[in-house]
Amino acid sequence: MLGEKRIKEIADSILARSTADQTEVVILSSDSYLTRFANSTIHQNVAETDTEVRIRVVLQRGGEDGAQVGVATTNDLDPEALARTLESAMDIARVQPRNPAFRSLPGPQPLPDVTAFSESTAGCTPEQRARGAGAICTLARDQGVVASGALTTATFEVGVANSLGVSAYSATTSADINTVIMSDTSAGYAAALALDVDDMNFEAIGREAVDKCLHAQNPRSLEPGEYTVILEPYAVQDFIQMMSWTGFNAVAVQEGRSFMVGRMGEQIVDPRISIWDDGLSPEGIPLPFDFEGVPKQRVDLIQEGVARGVVYDSYRAGKEEGKSSTGHALPAPNSFGPMPLNVFFAPGKGSLAEMIRSTERGIYVTRFHYTRPVEPKQVVITGMTRDGTFLVENGELAYPVKNLRFTQSYLEALNHVDVIGAEPRLLPGMGGLGRDSVPALKLNKFRFTGATEF
């Protein structure tokens, strides 16, 4: 770790040197380790140490709206390299036409006192990671199946400072594991995310995937069509990610392509559904501020089925009267726009066992694979099932089935909710930074349009 003092020194030196009207320095420093296994052995095992310094300069011609903005990055912390990078950002800004929509970098705000740091995770050794992976490999070998997966432990430091007085620093840790267990005819999956690697029960995670794999052996073919579905949290997470990507962000709304456009305040899904982003919640892995140093705010995206809001960064907020950043900026320049990274889907009262018992005929899905938007306004998504798909008949898991392709509007599907699960899972989210908390779901209508051979 560089530490708060060093990060502040680097940022302050750049701010002091800059002659721009406004300057922002974002420093991302990481130590990350990943132990990967396949065929029940560790085959890739890697470590990385990096620090990126991102400098954004703003040139505002006195009296005119808008600004010229330039961004340059380096991972060379030598003072000469930093000076060169600052000059590069200035050169970029100088040659640009003015962007009339750019208002200002954000000013300082009180920052929440939130920490998400575990000494055990930060100090996790290659041997400890190997033993965690090894526990799953050994379990798989004992059951006559094959383990693959990846265990990551990482420390991230984020420092944001700007010439308006923003000065923010945060150090976080995270540990995540995913595993796919395979037999000749089946596969099972499990994943987990934790702040503290010592909280991870590798044997339990391995057991979840092994049991699924064993139960899913020798799948039968099933005709595609419309079915009731029971979705484990891994599958439900795709709803969050696709809806975030296509519509829960200000860019998609401002460009007119979001499903939220023209529907704020309207019922768009089942009234039992509430989805929100909260970067400060201790139920997730909190982040106190975004990549502009703006404190994270809770944003209700869907509240009791009603479209309520989307997330903003300062640039997109500046384009709308009365809007301010909600603390969801990604590192500039960011053409994708602000993104929800700490999404919560409100749990209900049901259990997976009850969902199965109450289903006359349906399909039980562990997770989705390779999902992609086909049409954004209805959030029509296509993808495959993967790693444990079963026919449910007369209240029981009848037999495993070969994987199916679906093409389905997620909005339409969320209007056919039967049961929402009670116990949400915390899962790694978008782009390695996100963390989502999602329950299981039973939906009465879901359209499968194809099938594969396994």
Site for other proteins in 263-322 (CB under 8 A): none
Q: Write the DSSP assignment of 323-388 as a string of letters.
A: ----S-PPSSS-TT-----EEEE---SB-HHHHHHT-SEEEEEEEEEEEEEEETTTTEEEEEEEEE
Q: How far is the CB of 307 from other proteins (least distance, A)?
A: 13
* Closest by CA position to 184, among listed 220, 215, 156, 146: 146
In terms of CB distance, is 70 or 434 closer to other proteins? 70
d(CA 250, CA 244): 10
Among 51, 118, 237, 325, binds other proteins (CB under 8 A): 51
* Closest by CA position to 402, among listed 159, 151, 169, 224: 224
Among 23, 40, 228, 241, binds other proteins (CB under 8 A): 40
Q: How far is the CB of 411 from other proteins (least distance, A)?
A: 12
- Please list every residue from 379 through 438 that binds other proteins, using CB under 8 A: 380, 382-384, 386, 403, 405, 407, 432
Say if residues 102 and 315 touch (Cβ distance below 8 Å).
yes
Positive/negative CA dihedral, 430, 434, 435, 441: negative
In the chain, the amino acid numbered 242 is M
In terms of CB distance, is 41 or 267 closer to other proteins? 41
Is residue 45 near other proteins by the rule CB under 8 A?
Answer: yes
Q: Contacts with other proteins: how many residues (CB under 8 A)?
A: 94
Is residue 450 near other proteins by the rule CB under 8 A?
Answer: yes
In terms of CB distance, is 286 or 337 closer to other proteins? 337
In terms of CB distance, is 96 or 115 closer to other proteins? 96
Which residue's entry shows tokens 């310094």?
Answer: 53
Is residue 257 near other proteins by the rule CB under 8 A?
Answer: yes
For 103, 111, 117, 154, the CA distances from 46, given in Å and listed in that order, are: 42, 34, 22, 12
- Among the listed ranges 264-272, 287-295, 330-338, 392-400, the one in contact with other proteins (CB under 8 A) is 330-338
- Please list every residue from 107 through 146 that binds other proteins, using CB under 8 A: 125-127, 129-131, 133-134, 137-138, 146
In terms of CB distance, is 324 or 407 closer to other proteins? 407
Count other C-beta atoms under 10 Å from residue 266's C-beta: 10
Helix (H, G, I), strand (E, B) or coil at 384: strand
For 35, 39, 128, 178, the CA distances from 139, given in Å and listed in that order, are: 17, 12, 17, 15
Say if residues 89 and 59 touch (Cβ distance below 8 Å).
no
Q: How far is the CB of 159 from other proteins (least distance, A)?
A: 16
Strand partners, 118: none
d(CA 408, CA 414): 11
Among 6, 8, 21, 92, binds other proteins (CB under 8 A): 92
Q: How far is the CB of 12 from other proteins (least distance, A)?
A: 21
In terms of CB distance, is 45 or 281 closer to other proteins? 45
Q: How far is the CB of 136 from other proteins (least distance, A)?
A: 10
In terms of CB distance, is 205 or 355 closer to other proteins? 205
- Please list every residue from 209 through 238 that binds other proteins, using CB under 8 A: none
The structure tokens listed for 276 are 């929100």
CA angle 282–287–290, rounded 5-degree value: 150
In terms of CB distance, is 34 or 114 closer to other proteins? 34
Among 13, 74, 303, 358, binds other proteins (CB under 8 A): 74
Is residue 148 near other proteins by the rule CB under 8 A?
Answer: yes
Is residue 67 near other proteins by the rule CB under 8 A?
Answer: no
Helix axis angle, 202-215 to 126-142, nearest 10°: 30
d(CA 435, CA 272): 22
Say if residues 234 and 408 touch (Cβ distance below 8 Å).
no
* Closest by CA position to 332, among listed 54, 51, 93, 104: 54
Is residue 18 near other proteins by the rule CB under 8 A?
Answer: no
What's 124-158 look like in SS3?
A: CCHHHHHHHHHHHHHHHHHCCCEEEEEEEEEEEEE
Among 10, 180, 200, 414, binds other proteins (CB under 8 A): 180
- Among the listed ranges 6-14, 43-51, 229-237, 346-354, the one in contact with other proteins (CB under 8 A) is 43-51
- Please list every residue from 349 through 378 that binds other proteins, using CB under 8 A: 369-377
Q: How far is the CB of 368 from other proteins (least distance, A)?
A: 10
Say if residues 448 and 404 touch (Cβ distance below 8 Å).
yes
In terms of CB distance, is 374 or 397 closer to other proteins? 374
- Among the listed ranges 68-76, 158-166, 270-278, 283-291, the one in contact with other proteins (CB under 8 A) is 68-76
Q: How far is the CB of 260 from other proteins (least distance, A)?
A: 11
d(CA 105, CA 136): 48
Is residue 97 near other proteins by the rule CB under 8 A?
Answer: yes
Is residue 261 near other proteins by the rule CB under 8 A?
Answer: yes
d(CA 215, CA 201): 22
Is residue 101 near other proteins by the rule CB under 8 A?
Answer: yes
